[in-house]
Structure 1
Amino acid sequence: MNNMKTNHETQQKYYHLWTDKSHISRTTEHYLTGFTLIQYSNPNPEYHYKDLPEVINSEFAILPPSWESDFHPTPSPQWVITLSGRWRTTTKDGICVTYQPGDVHFGGDLPLEGVPLNQQGHKALNPSSKESTKVLILSVNTPLSIPESQF
């Protein structure tokens, strides 16, 4: 019997951090869809999504216990994948999202010209006083587009 996943399981949730036309940072939940079945190894094919922006830099980051940032924009478009621990973002609209291992975040609240850095973007923190948080950061060459329904 074939163990292939059903269509509702062939998507990937991510949280998109972006800035609206009023320069307010926001986080919205989205899904990557359009995975295709590719056979790399026999006998079982796998689902892949290949329409991601090109990765231009990759790095691991460790957020120490109780680490916290000031408000800041994301320096460049980037995927952040939580490997261990938890971390949280708070956007200018007041929305807090806590990321657990396996959660995917896309930082697209890029620097705004003429706006002081501490007056834009988001805050981030590690809420644990005991554990570090480990993330993989993949900087990409282009930001994701914001669906028109978000404006």
Structure 2
Amino acid sequence: MQTVDLRFWRVWVDEQGVSHQTRHAFNDHKQSVFAEGATPLWNAIHYTGPATIITLILMPGDLKDWHENPRPQWIIPLNGTWCVETMDGCIVEMGPGEISFGGDQGTLNNKGHRSWAVGDTPVELMLIQVSEPPPWNPCNPMS
């Protein structure tokens, strides 16, 4: 049977309070009817709690200071390119349609990460803040 995974970046904190970024995946997709009357498609439910949706615009050349994500949140670039650097020195560049989970609350000295827009155009981000991080925090990274 075929399986389908949707990959995302995860910002998380280790036992020493250092933030990291690793690649993970939504998995357990099954082919079934998602909406009555539609043909079956691959789907899986990953979160069912309350959420807040926020949009942000980062301007070119504006390097953000080190900070933690204010709440556990999914971050999806809509337009432009965005970079995130974690305390371990990992820098990840993401563009439209890529996904990152910001779960770096509780880092050493509240350092967390820093981020910036790449290039000459603003980056538009959609954030989906959740009350609790997913139960797989931290999870086993994908290769």
TM-score (norm 1): 0.82
2:88 to 82, 85, 93: 93
Instruction: Give yes or no for the alignment of 1:147 onto 2:142.
Output: no
Q: State the percentage of identical aligned residues.
A: 24
Q: CA deviation at 1:125?
A: 0.6
Structure 1 segment 1-20 matched on structure 2, within 5 A: 7-8=2-3, 10-20=4-14
Where does the alignment leave 5 or more consecutive residues of structure 1 unmatched? Answer: 1-5
C-alpha distance in structure 1 between counterparts of 2:50 and 2:75, whole Å = 12
**Which has the greater radius of gyration?**
1
In structure 1, the partner of 2:105 is: 110
TM-score (norm 2): 0.87
Instruction: Give yes or no for the alignment of 1:30 onto 2:24.
Output: yes
In structure 2, the partner of 1:73 is: 68
Q: CA deviation at 1:143?
A: 1.0
Structure 1 segment 56-71 matched on structure 2, within 5 A: 56-71=51-66
Where does the alignment leave 5 or more consecutive residues of structure 2 unmatched? Answer: none
Q: CA deviation at 1:66?
A: 1.6
- The alignment's C-alpha RMSD in Å is 1.9
Q: Work out the number of aligned pairs and report it.
A: 138
One-letter amino acid of the counterpart of residue 12, structure 1? L
Q: CA deviation at 1:140?
A: 0.7
Q: CA deviation at 1:53?
A: 5.3
Instruction: Give yes or no for the alignment of 1:133 onto 2:127.
Output: no
CA 1:53–1:71: 2 relative to 1, 3 Å: farther
